[in-house]
Structure 1
Amino acid sequence: MRHDRSEIAEIRDAVHLCIDMQKIFAPGGLWATPWMERVLPAIAGIASRYRARTVFSRFITPENPEDRPGHWQHYFRRWREATRARMPPSGLDLVPALARLVPPAHVIDKPAYSAFSNPRLAGLLVEKRVGTVVVTGAETDVCVLSSVLSAVDLGFRVVIVEDALCSSSDVGHDALMTMYRNRFHGQVDLVTAEELARFWRE
Protein backbone atom coordinates (compact mmCIF):
# COMPACT_ATOMS: atom_id res chain seq x y z
CA MET A 1 0.00 0.00 0.00
CA ARG A 2 1.41 3.42 -1.00
CA HIS A 3 0.66 6.78 0.48
CA ASP A 4 -1.91 8.67 -1.53
CA ARG A 5 0.22 11.53 -2.84
CA SER A 6 -2.87 13.75 -2.98
CA GLU A 7 -2.94 13.64 0.85
CA ILE A 8 0.59 15.01 1.24
CA ALA A 9 0.59 18.57 2.50
CA GLU A 10 2.88 21.25 1.15
CA ILE A 11 6.31 21.15 2.79
CA ARG A 12 7.14 24.31 4.70
CA ASP A 13 9.70 25.37 7.31
CA ALA A 14 11.79 22.33 6.40
CA VAL A 15 15.37 21.17 6.58
CA HIS A 16 16.94 18.47 4.43
CA LEU A 17 18.67 16.04 6.80
CA CYS A 18 21.09 13.85 4.87
CA ILE A 19 22.34 10.92 6.92
CA ASP A 20 25.94 9.64 6.78
CA MET A 21 26.84 9.92 3.11
CA GLN A 22 30.50 9.36 3.96
CA LYS A 23 33.47 7.73 2.28
CA ILE A 24 33.42 4.85 4.79
CA PHE A 25 30.02 3.83 3.36
CA ALA A 26 30.93 4.51 -0.29
CA PRO A 27 32.17 1.81 -2.69
CA GLY A 28 35.64 0.79 -1.53
CA GLY A 29 34.98 1.94 2.04
CA LEU A 30 35.16 -0.33 5.07
CA TRP A 31 31.35 -0.36 5.44
CA ALA A 32 30.56 -0.02 1.73
CA THR A 33 26.89 0.39 0.85
CA PRO A 34 26.55 -0.79 -2.75
CA TRP A 35 23.48 1.35 -3.48
CA MET A 36 25.18 4.62 -2.56
CA GLU A 37 26.33 5.44 -6.08
CA ARG A 38 22.82 4.83 -7.38
CA VAL A 39 21.12 7.31 -5.03
CA LEU A 40 23.91 9.89 -4.83
CA PRO A 41 22.73 11.93 -7.86
CA ALA A 42 19.25 12.33 -6.34
CA ILE A 43 20.70 13.33 -2.96
CA ALA A 44 23.18 15.76 -4.53
CA GLY A 45 20.33 17.32 -6.50
CA ILE A 46 18.24 17.87 -3.37
CA ALA A 47 21.19 19.21 -1.38
CA SER A 48 22.12 21.58 -4.20
CA ARG A 49 18.60 22.92 -4.50
CA TYR A 50 18.15 23.44 -0.75
CA ARG A 51 21.81 24.08 0.04
CA ALA A 52 21.32 26.55 2.89
CA ARG A 53 18.68 24.30 4.45
CA THR A 54 20.68 21.08 4.25
CA VAL A 55 22.29 19.40 7.25
CA PHE A 56 24.69 16.51 6.69
CA SER A 57 25.26 14.11 9.57
CA ARG A 58 28.49 12.17 9.89
CA PHE A 59 28.89 9.02 11.98
CA ILE A 60 32.15 9.61 13.87
CA THR A 61 33.81 6.49 15.22
CA PRO A 62 35.83 6.61 18.47
CA GLU A 63 39.59 6.86 18.63
CA ASN A 64 39.55 3.54 20.53
CA PRO A 65 36.71 1.17 21.51
CA GLU A 66 37.08 2.09 25.18
CA ASP A 67 36.13 5.69 24.39
CA ARG A 68 32.47 4.72 23.99
CA PRO A 69 30.06 3.60 26.72
CA GLY A 70 28.67 0.15 27.37
CA HIS A 71 28.07 -2.25 24.52
CA TRP A 72 29.49 0.19 21.97
CA GLN A 73 32.89 -0.99 23.25
CA HIS A 74 32.09 -4.55 22.19
CA TYR A 75 30.87 -3.26 18.81
CA PHE A 76 34.05 -1.32 18.09
CA ARG A 77 36.31 -4.13 19.28
CA ARG A 78 34.65 -6.15 16.52
CA TRP A 79 35.10 -3.25 14.09
CA ARG A 80 38.48 -2.04 15.35
CA GLU A 81 39.51 -1.18 11.79
CA ALA A 82 36.79 1.49 11.81
CA THR A 83 38.22 3.30 14.85
CA ARG A 84 40.04 6.55 14.22
CA ALA A 85 43.25 5.02 15.59
CA ARG A 86 43.24 2.57 12.68
CA MET A 87 41.57 4.25 9.71
CA PRO A 88 42.66 7.23 7.57
CA PRO A 89 41.01 10.46 8.83
CA SER A 90 39.52 11.08 5.39
CA GLY A 91 37.42 7.90 5.70
CA LEU A 92 34.83 9.76 7.77
CA ASP A 93 34.57 12.69 5.35
CA LEU A 94 31.47 13.30 3.28
CA VAL A 95 31.68 12.00 -0.28
CA PRO A 96 33.13 14.75 -2.53
CA ALA A 97 29.88 15.47 -4.40
CA LEU A 98 28.30 16.56 -1.10
CA ALA A 99 31.34 17.96 0.72
CA ARG A 100 31.57 20.75 -1.86
CA LEU A 101 28.18 22.05 -0.70
CA VAL A 102 29.53 22.89 2.80
CA PRO A 103 29.10 25.77 3.52
CA PRO A 104 26.35 26.94 3.35
CA ALA A 105 25.14 23.41 4.13
CA HIS A 106 25.82 22.39 7.74
CA VAL A 107 27.61 19.34 9.13
CA ILE A 108 26.61 17.65 12.40
CA ASP A 109 28.91 14.94 13.79
CA LYS A 110 27.27 12.21 15.83
CA PRO A 111 28.57 9.39 18.06
CA ALA A 112 25.68 6.95 17.53
CA TYR A 113 23.08 5.92 14.97
CA SER A 114 20.60 8.78 15.33
CA ALA A 115 21.56 12.18 13.98
CA PHE A 116 19.84 13.52 17.10
CA SER A 117 22.42 11.80 19.32
CA ASN A 118 24.22 15.11 18.89
CA PRO A 119 21.98 17.61 20.73
CA ARG A 120 23.28 20.40 18.48
CA LEU A 121 20.98 19.14 15.73
CA ALA A 122 17.75 19.70 17.66
CA GLY A 123 19.04 23.11 18.70
CA LEU A 124 19.80 24.04 15.09
CA LEU A 125 16.34 22.97 13.94
CA VAL A 126 14.68 24.99 16.69
CA GLU A 127 16.82 27.99 15.77
CA LYS A 128 15.69 27.67 12.14
CA ARG A 129 12.06 27.20 13.26
CA VAL A 130 11.87 23.89 11.47
CA GLY A 131 8.64 21.90 11.50
CA THR A 132 9.51 19.28 8.87
CA VAL A 133 12.59 17.13 8.39
CA VAL A 134 13.19 15.82 4.87
CA VAL A 135 15.34 12.70 5.16
CA THR A 136 17.80 11.11 2.73
CA GLY A 137 20.95 9.04 3.14
CA ALA A 138 22.34 5.81 4.56
CA GLU A 139 21.47 3.27 5.79
CA THR A 140 17.70 2.90 5.52
CA ASP A 141 17.47 0.27 8.25
CA VAL A 142 20.08 1.59 10.70
CA CYS A 143 21.03 5.27 11.01
CA VAL A 144 18.15 6.55 8.88
CA LEU A 145 15.68 4.51 10.93
CA SER A 146 17.10 5.75 14.23
CA SER A 147 17.07 9.38 13.03
CA VAL A 148 13.52 9.14 11.70
CA LEU A 149 12.19 7.75 14.98
CA SER A 150 14.04 10.43 16.95
CA ALA A 151 12.52 13.13 14.74
CA VAL A 152 9.04 11.67 15.21
CA ASP A 153 9.56 11.52 18.99
CA LEU A 154 10.58 15.19 18.98
CA GLY A 155 7.40 16.15 17.15
CA PHE A 156 8.77 16.88 13.69
CA ARG A 157 6.88 15.94 10.57
CA VAL A 158 9.13 13.58 8.60
CA VAL A 159 9.26 13.35 4.82
CA ILE A 160 11.33 10.45 3.51
CA VAL A 161 12.65 10.65 -0.04
CA GLU A 162 12.24 7.03 -0.96
CA ASP A 163 14.58 6.99 -3.98
CA ALA A 164 17.30 8.85 -2.04
CA LEU A 165 17.97 6.17 0.61
CA CYS A 166 20.45 3.35 0.47
CA SER A 167 21.21 0.21 2.44
CA SER A 168 23.52 -2.77 2.23
CA SER A 169 20.48 -4.98 2.83
CA ASP A 170 17.66 -5.21 0.30
CA VAL A 171 15.55 -7.10 2.84
CA GLY A 172 16.12 -4.48 5.53
CA HIS A 173 15.39 -1.60 3.16
CA ASP A 174 12.16 -3.14 1.86
CA ALA A 175 10.96 -4.00 5.38
CA LEU A 176 11.50 -0.44 6.58
CA MET A 177 9.78 1.13 3.60
CA THR A 178 6.76 -1.10 4.29
CA MET A 179 6.80 -0.07 7.95
CA TYR A 180 6.96 3.64 7.11
CA ARG A 181 3.99 3.32 4.75
CA ASN A 182 1.81 1.25 7.06
CA ARG A 183 2.70 2.23 10.62
CA PHE A 184 3.49 5.95 10.64
CA HIS A 185 0.77 7.47 8.50
CA GLY A 186 0.22 11.05 9.61
CA GLN A 187 3.76 11.44 10.95
CA VAL A 188 5.86 10.15 8.05
CA ASP A 189 5.28 10.85 4.36
CA LEU A 190 7.07 9.20 1.47
CA VAL A 191 7.86 11.07 -1.75
CA THR A 192 10.23 10.66 -4.67
CA ALA A 193 12.99 13.16 -5.36
CA GLU A 194 10.99 14.45 -8.32
CA GLU A 195 7.87 14.91 -6.21
CA LEU A 196 9.83 16.69 -3.49
CA ALA A 197 10.45 19.66 -5.77
CA ARG A 198 6.68 19.99 -6.23
CA PHE A 199 5.78 19.76 -2.54
CA TRP A 200 8.71 21.84 -1.22
CA ARG A 201 9.01 25.20 -2.91
CA GLU A 202 11.16 27.93 -1.48
Structure 2
Amino acid sequence: MTRDRLHPDLIEIVLELRTFIPPAQVADKYVMSAWADGLLQTRLKAAEVDTLFISGAETEVCVLATVMGAIDRSYRVIIVSDAVCSGADSTHDAMLGIYRSRFGMQVETVTAEEMCAAVISSRA
Protein backbone atom coordinates (compact mmCIF):
# COMPACT_ATOMS: atom_id res chain seq x y z
CA MET A 1 0.00 0.00 0.00
CA THR A 2 1.14 3.50 -0.56
CA ARG A 3 1.19 4.80 2.99
CA ASP A 4 2.44 8.22 1.88
CA ARG A 5 -0.71 8.65 -0.22
CA LEU A 6 -3.27 7.53 2.36
CA HIS A 7 -4.80 9.60 5.11
CA PRO A 8 -3.47 8.23 8.44
CA ASP A 9 -7.02 7.55 9.68
CA LEU A 10 -7.46 5.00 6.88
CA ILE A 11 -4.75 2.74 8.27
CA GLU A 12 -5.34 3.30 11.98
CA ILE A 13 -6.67 0.54 14.21
CA VAL A 14 -10.45 0.89 14.48
CA LEU A 15 -11.65 2.42 17.72
CA GLU A 16 -13.31 -0.80 18.94
CA LEU A 17 -9.97 -2.65 18.80
CA ARG A 18 -7.76 0.08 20.26
CA THR A 19 -8.79 -0.99 23.77
CA PHE A 20 -6.78 -4.20 23.21
CA ILE A 21 -3.52 -2.31 22.64
CA PRO A 22 -1.74 -3.14 24.88
CA PRO A 23 -1.40 -6.06 25.32
CA ALA A 24 -1.92 -6.50 21.59
CA GLN A 25 0.76 -4.94 19.39
CA VAL A 26 0.73 -3.63 15.85
CA ALA A 27 3.56 -4.69 13.54
CA ASP A 28 3.88 -2.65 10.36
CA LYS A 29 5.83 -4.18 7.50
CA TYR A 30 7.30 -2.84 4.29
CA VAL A 31 7.67 -6.03 2.25
CA MET A 32 5.23 -8.83 1.43
CA SER A 33 6.00 -11.11 4.36
CA ALA A 34 5.92 -9.91 7.94
CA TRP A 35 8.72 -12.37 8.69
CA ALA A 36 11.37 -10.91 6.38
CA ASP A 37 13.38 -8.83 8.86
CA GLY A 38 13.09 -11.16 11.87
CA LEU A 39 11.69 -8.49 14.19
CA LEU A 40 8.21 -9.95 14.35
CA GLN A 41 9.49 -13.39 15.31
CA THR A 42 11.67 -11.84 18.02
CA ARG A 43 8.74 -9.88 19.48
CA LEU A 44 6.41 -12.87 19.39
CA LYS A 45 8.90 -15.22 21.03
CA ALA A 46 9.67 -12.68 23.76
CA ALA A 47 5.95 -12.35 24.51
CA GLU A 48 5.40 -16.14 24.32
CA VAL A 49 2.71 -15.70 21.67
CA ASP A 50 1.30 -18.84 20.07
CA THR A 51 -1.74 -17.47 18.20
CA LEU A 52 -1.90 -14.79 15.50
CA PHE A 53 -4.96 -12.92 14.25
CA ILE A 54 -4.08 -11.76 10.76
CA SER A 55 -5.60 -8.89 8.83
CA GLY A 56 -4.35 -6.74 5.99
CA ALA A 57 -4.01 -6.29 2.27
CA GLU A 58 -3.69 -8.10 -0.18
CA THR A 59 -5.42 -11.38 0.70
CA GLU A 60 -3.60 -13.39 -1.96
CA VAL A 61 -0.20 -11.67 -1.77
CA CYS A 62 1.03 -10.08 1.47
CA VAL A 63 -1.49 -11.82 3.72
CA LEU A 64 -0.63 -15.12 2.06
CA ALA A 65 3.12 -14.58 2.52
CA THR A 66 2.61 -13.78 6.19
CA VAL A 67 0.23 -16.70 6.73
CA MET A 68 2.66 -19.15 5.14
CA GLY A 69 5.48 -17.88 7.35
CA ALA A 70 3.28 -18.22 10.43
CA ILE A 71 2.37 -21.79 9.49
CA ASP A 72 6.06 -22.60 8.93
CA ARG A 73 6.77 -21.26 12.43
CA SER A 74 3.97 -23.37 13.98
CA TYR A 75 1.70 -20.53 15.08
CA ARG A 76 -2.03 -20.94 15.41
CA VAL A 77 -3.22 -18.75 12.52
CA ILE A 78 -6.61 -17.04 12.54
CA ILE A 79 -7.47 -14.87 9.54
CA VAL A 80 -10.06 -12.17 10.19
CA SER A 81 -11.96 -12.66 6.95
CA ASP A 82 -13.65 -9.26 6.85
CA ALA A 83 -10.40 -7.49 7.80
CA VAL A 84 -8.47 -8.59 4.71
CA CYS A 85 -8.87 -7.09 1.26
CA SER A 86 -7.53 -7.14 -2.24
CA GLY A 87 -7.54 -5.10 -5.39
CA ALA A 88 -9.30 -7.97 -7.16
CA ASP A 89 -12.52 -9.41 -5.74
CA SER A 90 -12.22 -12.69 -7.64
CA THR A 91 -8.78 -13.61 -6.30
CA HIS A 92 -9.67 -12.33 -2.82
CA ASP A 93 -12.72 -14.60 -2.73
CA ALA A 94 -10.76 -17.51 -4.19
CA MET A 95 -7.99 -17.11 -1.62
CA LEU A 96 -10.45 -17.03 1.28
CA GLY A 97 -11.85 -20.28 -0.11
CA ILE A 98 -8.36 -21.78 -0.25
CA TYR A 99 -7.63 -20.70 3.33
CA ARG A 100 -10.83 -22.43 4.45
CA SER A 101 -10.42 -25.59 2.40
CA ARG A 102 -6.81 -26.34 1.48
CA PHE A 103 -5.36 -24.80 4.64
CA GLY A 104 -8.27 -25.86 6.86
CA MET A 105 -5.95 -27.80 9.18
CA GLN A 106 -3.49 -24.90 9.61
CA VAL A 107 -5.70 -21.81 9.33
CA GLU A 108 -8.94 -20.71 10.92
CA THR A 109 -11.12 -17.88 9.67
CA VAL A 110 -13.38 -15.68 11.76
CA THR A 111 -15.18 -12.41 11.25
CA ALA A 112 -14.13 -9.32 13.17
CA GLU A 113 -17.34 -9.57 15.19
CA GLU A 114 -16.57 -13.20 16.12
CA MET A 115 -12.99 -12.29 17.04
CA CYS A 116 -14.06 -9.39 19.25
CA ALA A 117 -16.74 -11.48 20.97
CA ALA A 118 -14.24 -14.25 21.69
CA VAL A 119 -11.61 -11.86 23.02
CA ILE A 120 -14.12 -9.99 25.17
CA SER A 121 -15.55 -13.24 26.61
CA SER A 122 -12.03 -14.48 27.41
CA ARG A 123 -11.39 -11.31 29.44
CA ALA A 124 -14.55 -11.76 31.52
What's the TM-score once normalised by structure 1's chain length? 0.53
Aligned residue for 2:27? 56
Structure 1 unaligned regions, length at least 5: 1-19, 28-36, 60-111
Distance 1:155 1:194, change over 3 A: same
2:59/2:95 contact within 8 Å kept: yes
Aligned residue for 2:72? 153
**What is the number of residues matched between the two proteins?**
118
RMSD: 2.2
The Cα of 1:171 is off from its aligned counterpart by: 1.4
2:33/2:69 contact within 8 Å kept: yes
1:128 is matched with which residue: 26, 32, 47?
A: 47
2:27/2:40 contact within 8 Å kept: no
Distance 1:198 1:47, change over 3 A: closer
- Once residues 176 and 126 of structure 1 are traced to their aligned partners in structure 2, the CA distance between those partners, rounded to angstroms, is 28
Aligned residue for 1:23? 3
Tell me the alpha carbon deviations over residues 50-93 of structure 1, each in whole angstroms, 9 at most, x when there is no partner.
2121223231xxxxxxxxxxxxxxxxxxxxxxxxxxxxxxxxxx
1:136/1:161 contact within 8 Å kept: yes
Distance 1:172 1:46, change over 3 A: farther
The DSSP-based 3-state class of the residue aligned with 1:161 is: strand
Moved over 4 A (4+): 24-27
Q: State the one-letter code of the partner of 1:194.
A: E
What's the TM-score once normalised by structure 2's chain length? 0.83
Tell me the alpha carbon deviations over residues 127-150 of structure 1, each in whole angstroms, 9 at most, x when there is no partner.
000000000111111111100010
Specify which structure has the bigger relative contact order, considering alpha-carbon pairs within 8 angstroms and separated by 6 or more residues. 1
Question: 2:93 matched to 1:174?
Answer: yes
1:44 is matched with which residue: 8, 14, 37?
A: 14
- Once residues 26 and 180 of structure 1 are traced to their aligned partners in structure 2, the CA distance between those partners, rounded to angstroms, is 29
- Once residues 179 and 25 of structure 1 are traced to their aligned partners in structure 2, the CA distance between those partners, rounded to angstroms, is 31
Structure 2 unaligned regions, length at least 5: none
Identity of aligned residues (%): 36
Larger-gyration structure (1/2): 1
